Amino acid sequence: MTTISMVSCKRLFVDLETYSGVDLQDCGLYKYVESPDFRVLLVAWAIDDAEVQVIDVEKGEPLTAFLRTLQDANIVKVAHNCAFERACLQKLTGRYQPPEEWEDTMHLAAMNGLPLTLEGVGAALGLPQQKLKEGKQLITFFCKPHTVLATIDGQMSWKTTASVRRLPSDALEKWERFKYYNKVDVEVERTVYRRLAPSTQISDAERAVFYADARINERGVLVDETLALAALSMQNRFEVAAREEMAKRTGLANPNSVPQLSEWLRKTAGLRVTKLDKAAVAALREKKPDANTDRVLELRQQLGKTSTKKYTVMLRAACADHRVRGITQYYGAGRTGRWAGRLVQMQNLPQNHLDRIEDVRQLVRDGDYDTVSMIYDSIPDTLSQLVRTAFIAPEGKTLLVADYSAIEARVIAYLACEQWRLDAFAAGKDIYCQSASQMFHVPVEKHGQNAHLRQKGKIAELACGYGGGVAALKAFGADKMGLTETEMKEIVDQWRAASPMIPKLWRRVEDAAVRALENPGKTYGVQRKRYDPARAAENENATGGSGYSALFNAGGIVCVFRRDKDALRCTLPSGRKLSYWGARLDSGGQIVFKGIGTENKNFIDLKTWGGKLVENVVQAFARDCLATAIVRLDAAGYDICFHVHDEIIAEAPADARWEDMAAVMSRPIDWAPGLLLPADGYSTVFYKKE
């Protein structure tokens, strides 16, 4: 493994422009670079503050000086989304590009809560020089194939097309502009780095997370392409049959048309329809229409099943060795630092509840449509439940799967010091039963006495931990259970009364954040025990809060807030910082900061409060626990293929034991003394949810 000092006096800033006949967005980086027609077109680079040079590789300009610099292990390489540059340069040079030699301005942006694109972060920082707006058009012109009419036997065919590459000679002025665009990207990238790097101190521990993540994405996971192709074939056969049946039952020329089907429902069943999405169709079926109408709506539901499209994504993204790579993004969620899913979107895979799943899987793999349709009511639902199983171990190996149980519930109990919860986890008890028991003051057992109360305990646990009320309960289906708003309000009150330390934690965290905003440059911490303002005042330190170090080391701190010139920083027990860019108090005293909106993804003003801050802290804390486990497993030689939420999946020899992997994950964490994080798991030849 390459080692390099990140205080090296030299930085190589680099940006590439490339061509491939494979679509980068649809197929992913590794399939894109693997394409036989992949080529590097331009290389823009600069050492530290030197003038940016652009090498026109397409026109044969030499790469000698650049490659000599690139191969110097004592020079830190910097790029925006460096995974792209690393993969492309590896293909260009035939030499592996160790992640240990690289830094990423996209990571710096994420760690500061800024937009992830170079254009977005440049705009958010108000840089004097911005990424050129015309870049997308230039990339489309030179970096992607375009379709033309083909000539057959000297005649132009209007039915036959071919994909060709545009050359610099096709548009010389555009090519020169493209070279300038490439140069500007490095200049903007370098300015972003100079602006953010000094205030974004990344610990060695966090760098190790990035390095392990790079290896995981490069390794990827094997896909059972036979199963995926068979599933798509079966889905297609079902869709043809379903549309034919809908047409017969409705008499419509196009029963898939929302206007036509809506009108039919109005005329034949008296149902007033404004839309026919998943929720709307489910609501219509709850009105108990006649058998024919209900069957039409059921077919509409089944045709709307989108999770089977993941098979298409797998096949599209699979490399020549049948492995899908690049399916997780490091620091994909800037507010907490959690990973984001890419391509197949592993974070929202359908669950599986099929009995004898091995047999069902084999029937689909064999293409036995008749047997599957005879056994199961819904072909799409069956195929959806098998999506996970398309990820497999190579022949002679196994997948080790291990995960943490109720990690967020454990973390919030730990940080809030809610003792009965800690005792329940220590005793291995069901937290939903224990919560219901604490709320309703009666014993609750999962399959025993007062079992009906467990569901109320479960939705309360899911909805109320971060300050959620009636609306949050509805989001988790409380209204579908038949609960009235009055009953939901009672559940919220009962949950908060049963866990009083957690609401106190919301208030204490908000108070510390507000005080930090009112007093820039000073630190305000939240201790795991009852908040002591006098003691906190003693520890305030305008130079960085070093007075809290002893409490951090002893595991006595939830988090520490400090407002610097750019952002409100929240330091976690791991030492990692969460950032709320441009945070301030509005006229009503509420915390406002700049962040990525959930709907339009713009960089806008967002509001937050204690419950939301605690949610960020808990999820970030849990993320750091998982990251610690990933680094430990990577160092121990486990070949991690991917991870989902609080679960890690590794490829191992057939005789490897998941218990050994779980034992590594369960080891104590020095910055979280006393936190119990038992991991459970299983081994399997195909991925599934046990």
With 90 as the cut, is the pLDDT of residue 536 above it? no
pTM of the entire predicted model = 0.91
With 80 as the cut, is the pLDDT of residue 250 above it? yes
With 70 as the cut, is the pLDDT of residue 102 above it? yes
Is the CB of residue 478 less than 8 Å from the CB of residue 459?
Answer: yes
Average pLDDT over residues 253-259: 88
pLDDT attached to residue 542: 37
Distance CA(592)–CA(584), nearest Å, equals 5
Q: What are phi and psi of 644, to 5 degrees?
A: -135, 115
Distance CA(490)–CA(622), nearest Å, equals 30
Percent of the chain with pLDDT over 70: 93
pLDDT attached to residue 540: 45
Between 163 and 677, name the one with better pLDDT.
Answer: 677
Query: pLDDT of 621-644, one tens digit each?
Result: 999 999 999 999 999 999 999 999
Between 183 and 294, name the one with better pLDDT.
Answer: 183
With 80 as the cut, is the pLDDT of residue 399 above it? yes
Q: Please give the order of strands across the beta sheet that includes 323-324.
A: 323-324, 221-223, 391-392
If DSSP codes are grouped into helix, strand and coil, which group holds residue 256? coil
Determine the angle formed by the axes of helices 225-250 and 309-317, rounding to 10 degrees: 150
Distance CA(163)–CA(180), nearest Å, equals 27
pLDDT attached to residue 447: 87
With 80 as the cut, is the pLDDT of residue 520 above it? yes
Res. 150 pLDDT band, cuts 50 70 90: low
pLDDT attached to residue 480: 80
Distance CA(652)–CA(333), nearest Å, equals 29
Average pLDDT over residues 493-513: 95
Cβ neighbour number for residue 432 with a 10 Å cutoff: 22
pLDDT attached to residue 544: 44
Asked which of 368-372, 417-421, 510-514, 540-544 is least confident by mean pLDDT, the reply is: 540-544
How big is the CA angle at 617 (ends 611 and 619), to the nearest 5 degrees? 100
Q: What are phi and psi of 688, to 5 degrees?
A: -160, 175
Task: Delimit the domains of the chain by residue range.
Answer: 11-200, 218-323+352-392, 396-405+518-690, 419-499
Average pLDDT over residues 73-88: 97
pLDDT attached to residue 274: 81
pLDDT attached to residue 600: 76
- Secondary structure element (H or E) that encloses residue 447, with its range: none
Tokens describing residue 268: 């034949």
pLDDT attached to residue 559: 96
Domain 11-200: give its CATH code: 3.30.420.10
Strands 53-56 and 76-79: unpaired
* DSSP 8-class letter at 156: E
With 60 as the cut, is the pLDDT of residue 546 above it? no
Asked which of 221-225, 308-312, 315-319 is least confident by mean pLDDT, the reply is: 308-312
If DSSP codes are grouped into helix, strand and coil, which group holds residue 373? helix
Q: Which position has the token pair 């108070």? A: 511
Of 73, 42, 344, 279, nearest in space to 178 by CA: 42
685 alpha carbon, distance to own chain's centre: 25
Average pLDDT over residues 52-66: 97
Res. 278 pLDDT band, cuts 50 70 90: confident
Percent of the chain with pLDDT over 90: 71
With 80 as the cut, is the pLDDT of residue 190 above it? yes
Distance CA(102)–CA(70), nearest Å, equals 11
Tokens describing residue 449: 């006495």
172 alpha carbon, distance to own chain's centre: 41
Of 28, 41, 141, 160, nearest in space to 81 by CA: 28
Tokens describing residue 206: 């966090």
Res. 303 pLDDT band, cuts 50 70 90: confident
pLDDT attached to residue 152: 56
If DSSP codes are grouped into helix, strand and coil, which group holds residue 445? coil
* DSSP 8-class letter at 670: T
Distance CA(528)–CA(552), nearest Å, equals 10
Tokens describing residue 228: 């995926």
DSSP labels for 588-604?
TS-EEEEEE-TTT--EE
With 50 as the cut, is the pLDDT of residue 543 above it? no
pLDDT attached to residue 482: 82
Strands 102-104 and 76-79: parallel
pLDDT attached to residue 509: 97
Query: pLDDT of 153-162, one tens digit each?
Result: 555 555 555 6
Distance CA(400)–CA(654), nearest Å, equals 10
Q: What are phi and psi of 194, to 5 degrees?
A: -60, -30
- Give the mean pLDDT of the chain: 91
pLDDT attached to residue 159: 52
Asked which of 126-130, 261-265, 303-307, 633-637 is least confident by mean pLDDT, the reply is: 303-307
Query: pLDDT of 571-617, one tens digit each?
Result: 999 999 999 999 999 999 999 999 988 777 789 999 999 999 999 99
- Secondary structure element (H or E) that encloses residue 148, with its range: strand 146-152
pLDDT attached to residue 377: 87
> Measured on CA atoms in the order 154, 156, 159, 164, is the torsion positive or negative?
positive
